[in-house]
Amino acid sequence: MDRGSESPLLDGGRSTRTKAVSWLRLSAALLVLTSIVVPAALWANRSHGALPGDGDGAGPCHCKASDMGDPPPGCITRSENSTYDGNPLVERFRRYLRIRTDHPEPNYCCAVAYLRGIAEDIGGLETMEVSYGKSTYKPFLIVTWRGTDPGLPSILLNSHTDVVQADPSNWRHDPFCAFMEENGDIFARGAQDCKDSGMHYLEAIRELKRKSFVPVRTIHVVYTPDEEIAGEEGFESFVASEQFRGMNVGVAIDEGGATPGDSFRVFRGEKAAWWLTITAFGKSCHGSVMLQNGAIENLIKSMNSIMAYRQTLLDLVAAGVDDSSVASISPTYLSAGVTTATGYVSNIQPEQASAGFDIRISPLAPEEGSDILNLIKTEWAPKERNMSYEFLQFGETEVVTVVDDSNPWWSLLKNAILESGHMLQEPLLASATSDSRNLRLRNISAFNFAAVSNTIDRVHGVDEYLNAGIYLAGVPVFENIIKAFSSFS
């Protein structure tokens, strides 16, 4: 999940229809024409090993059994006498965590092969691979549990298989060994974002089938590539496809977030993400010249203006304004200077200097977006000061899912969580973005939820972890949710 800060959402009401715009987006028609939709069984036959997921991968790529969760050479995987040693649910989770799906070269083939193997081991489920990669095969996995009434809108359980990079030298334990400490804490990239949810879905279905539960509505479990890099060839393309339209989705669960306390959090919407780069241009000359309005000086003027505006937003929150209705601006990178093989040159003034910002616009205060656009044009990157700007991502006002009694899906979700014995906070608005924004834009109720409490949120951070006991406790929560959603007629 592309995560920012999170904040409580004010009282619900009617959702607002809006649109999202991305500079990266291709036309939906082209994506449908170029997509690959092929049942997994047509690509390759796969032999099973001792654990579900062993064998050769499907699709136009190959995966060795050793790449599907076996500890890499040199990996230390657990402390002695760990409380959860040998627990099959924990071991399946840890194997998934070890599959290297980190960018820039995520191993999607092995992740999909492993998950498909688990689905086949459960039995009674259909699997299909779908790819929308233009030059590289980037497989989705769709696992389907058919309901008794296929005419009813279906249930979608979504998670992404890719994770962000992690530098092992900064971690307490190697982020790709899924080391488990004696108390059950599992350290791994993806433990919270969001391989936990992906495994929770399948383990909950396994348990429901063991109990002979039969769903009325069809359930689709979807494993998505490229969420961490904006999803142009991932979920964004998928929801524009005939494959998705044929699924007739009525409600969706997507990745959520860990909470440090006992209660769970549900997100019903997101702030729109604007990724802005501003660039100042100037004359290149010797560093000894007291040049006026050079590129770096020009950029500093803009930076000062942006940070002053940022302070007004911080002041609003400090004064008690709910930050779910306040925009946010964070500087993310600076680029300037002339370099050689030995580093920066101190006696040359550069021709240009750039800065990047992550801006989030609240759907509860879209007027702030208009104000910021005006400031970009007039103060932060005006042409008159020889400046330019570019949006790497530009989302206009987001849609929010209704969270009151007028939306039966919200009532079902809330009651299922409470009946599992857990407390629930008021619905939240996330500063992060996730794949679910694409569903809300199509007026599909979508809830971001993770059954993870009493856990420090370390998404995208060092020492991301999840305790095995907390993970196991999430399975019956998803059992309740899936049973409630799929029984609703």
List binding-site positions.
160, 193, 228, 255, 460
CA torsion 378-380-385-388 (nearest 10°) is -100
pLDDT digits (tens, 9 = 90+) for 22-60: 333 333 333 333 333 333 332 333 322 223 333 333 456
Q: With 0-12 CB in 10 A as exposed, 13-18 as middle and 19+ as buried, what is 170?
A: exposed
| Token reading at 341 | 């093989």
CATH class of the domain comprising 6-270+398-487: alpha beta
Domain positions in the chain are 6-270+398-487, 273-394
- 250 sits in which H/E element: strand 249-254
For the chain, the residue count is: 489
Q: Which two tokens stand for residue 416?
A: 């299922």
Long-range contacts of 384-387 (CB under 8 A, 24+ apart): 385/280, 385/293, 385/298, 385/301, 385/302, 386/280, 386/281, 386/282, 386/293, 386/298, 387/278, 387/279, 387/280, 387/281, 387/298, 387/302
Q: Does residue 374 have a pLDDT over 60? A: yes
d(CA 319, CA 171): 37
At 98-124, the pLDDT tens digits run 999 999 999 999 999 999 999 999 999
Average pLDDT over residues 163-189: 96
Residue 405 makes CB contacts below 8 A (sequence gap 6+) with 411
Distance of CA 388 to the CA centre of its chain: 30
Assign 142 a pLDDT band (cuts: 50, 70, 90). very high
Compute CA 215 distance to the chain's CA centroid, rounded to the nearest angstrom: 28
Rounded Cα distance between 474 and 227, Å, is 23
pLDDT digits (tens, 9 = 90+) for 69-99: 999 888 988 887 778 999 999 999 999 999 9
> Binding site residues for Zn(2+), as ranges?
160, 193, 228, 255, 460
What's the pLDDT band for 359 if we cut at 50, 70, 90?
A: very high
State residue 423's pLDDT score: 96
- Percent of the chain beyond pLDDT 90? 76
Task: Give the H/E segment covering residue 144.
Answer: strand 139-145
The pLDDT, as a whole number, for residue 1 is 67
Average pLDDT value for residue range 249-277: 95
Residue 173, pLDDT > 50, answer yes
Q: What is the mean pLDDT of residues 318-322?
A: 91
pLDDT (0 to 100) of residue 144: 98
Average pLDDT across the chain, whole number: 87
Task: Report the b/e string of 339-370 with b at 16+ CB within 10 A.
Answer: eeeeeeeeeebbebbbbbbbbbbbbbbbebbe
Burial class (CB in 10 A: 0-12, 13-18, 19+), 320: exposed
Q: What is the pLDDT of residue 431?
A: 80
Q: What is the pLDDT of residue 267?
A: 94
What predicted TM-score, i.e. pTM, was given to this entire model? 0.81
Model pLDDT, residue 38:
38
Please state the rounded mean pLDDT for residues 149-158.
Answer: 97
Question: What CATH number does the domain located at 273-394 have?
Answer: 3.30.70.360
Query: What pLDDT is recorded for position 155?
Result: 98
pLDDT of residue 366: 85
Confidence at residue 109, expressed as pLDDT on a 0 to 100 scale: 95
Checking if the pLDDT of 310 tops 90, the result is: yes
Quick check: 9 pLDDT over 90?
Answer: no
The residue assigned the tokens 């769709």 is: 142
pLDDT digits (tens, 9 = 90+) for 236-245: 999 999 999 9
Q: Which of 280-284, 321-325, 361-365 has the highest mean predicted lDDT (pLDDT)? A: 280-284
- What residues act catalytically? 162, 227
Angle at 190 between CA 84 and CA 95, to 5 degrees: 50
Hey, what amino acid is at 462?
Answer: V
Q: How far apart are CA 156 and CA 222, in angstroms?
A: 7
pLDDT, tens digit, 9 for 90 and up, residues 420-467: 999 999 998 888 789 999 999 999 999 999 999 999 999 999 999 999
Task: Look at residue 7 and tell me whether its pLDDT is greater than 60.
Answer: no
